[in-house]
Amino acid sequence: MATRDDHGSTEDRLIARFFKPLATHPGALGLSDDAAFIKPPAGCDLVLKADAIIGGVHFFPEDPADRVAQKAMRVNLSDLAAKGARPLGFLVSLALQRDVGETWLAAFCDGLKADIGAFSCPLFGGDTDRTPGPITVSVAMFGAVPEGTMVRRAGAKSGDKIMVTGTIGDAALGLKARRAELPKLSAAQRDHLLARYLLPQPRNAAAEALRMYASAAMDISDGLAGDLAKLCRVSGVAGEINAVKVPLSDAAKGALAAAPALIETILTGGDDYEIVCTVARDKAEAFKAASDKAGVSLTEIGTVGAGEGLVIRDTQGQKLEFAHGSFSHF
């Protein structure tokens, strides 16, 4: 783990104390070298991803440090899941304000440790620096798929079904709840939405099913509407979904019943870290069965057609139009 700090010895000590115990993979060399190495599994392509989260943009600066660590890993894990890849490991770069102390770092590393174990995704190294700006956590993550099988955005075909994992809109509603912008909900509903914002649940369990069956896939970070529109654009097809078919949690249903305009937040709000994907009609049943078996629910929400653009219909079959096609972080 390299340092670029005028207090190099302090940083070396922090790395030895906090990060070295996490770097147990032999290729990490106990963080004692300038770089780590991995051998790609035989017959596999490496799948590469980098995503950062920034305090005040992607998380609240007062969020618990372990949850910040997990979110930083999970937004990357979610992309690997959508590509059908299994995680091999990651690098983490931290830019911390000078007043961020060892208590925060210890909790941050507890969060890393939990997800290193939960997702079999070892730490290979990284970097720590001090910054005058907000806390920034950058993760570069590596995964593997059998050669030539990474699930692309650009594979949707006319006639395919459009499906999503899990439930949509919870995190965007959770952000609203956090800012006291939601109608009255039960404590359980509110807690559910807040938790979905704080800690994404990436669908890595479904990666194998996606790789076997999906014609195209991406994870939903910027809202279902905007992300599905991107997938359709790059695939050169049109998409049509019905808002009523979009799977919602009980909490989201409760919020929507109290304030129907929240359908826009649900469909465009982002931070879902669910997967939107397409599948050939004759494979849809097997796909759903494989995903169910992996413990990830899949719901059909629409179809792919010839042409371009994404149409979202409401219960009456009317087209829904939104002011904001997709999410821009707060």
Q: Are strands 2-3 and 44-54 parallel, antiparallel or unpaired?
A: unpaired
Minimum CB separation of residue 292 from Mg ion in Å reads: 24
Please give the distance of CA 177 from its chain centroid, rounded to a whole number.
20
Nearer to Mg ion by Cβ, of 115 and 219: the residue is 219
Minimum CB separation of residue 43 from Mg ion in Å reads: 25
Q: Are 251 and 185 in contact (CB under 8 A)?
A: yes
Q: Cα(74)–Cα(261) distance, rounded to whole angstroms? A: 29
Minimum CB separation of residue 220 from Mg ion in Å reads: 8
Closest CA to 76 of 196, 200, 256: 200
Question: DSSP string spanning 207-267?
Answer: HHHHHHHEEEEEE-SS-HHHHHHHHHHHHT-EEEEEGGGS---HHHHHHHHH-GGGHHHHH
Nearer to Mg ion by Cβ, of 94 and 217: the residue is 217
Nearer to Mg ion by Cβ, of 75 and 105: the residue is 75
Residue 277: strand, helix, or coil = strand
**Amino acid identity, position 196:** R
Nearer to Mg ion by Cβ, of 79 and 208: the residue is 79
Nearer to Mg ion by Cβ, of 219 and 274: the residue is 219
Nearer to Mg ion by Cβ, of 76 and 189: the residue is 76
Minimum CB separation of residue 80 from Mg ion in Å reads: 10
Minimum CB separation of residue 272 from Mg ion in Å reads: 11
Minimum CB separation of residue 199 from Mg ion in Å reads: 18
Nearer to Mg ion by Cβ, of 208 and 219: the residue is 219
Closest CA to 195 of 249, 140, 241: 249
- Sheet with 214-219: list strands edge to edge: 214-219, 275-279, 161-165, 298-305, 238-242, 309-313
Q: Cα(305)–Cα(117) distance, rounded to whole angstroms? A: 41
Nearer to Mg ion by Cβ, of 20 and 230: the residue is 230
Interacting residues toward Mg ion by CB under 5 A: 79, 219
Minimum CB separation of residue 212 from Mg ion in Å reads: 20
For 98, the enclosing helix (H) or strand (E) is: none
Dig out the tokens for 232 from the structure.
């359709």
DSSP 150: P
Minimum CB separation of residue 176 from Mg ion in Å reads: 22
Question: Kindly report the CA angle at 46 between 166 and 158, in degrees rounded to 5?
Answer: 50
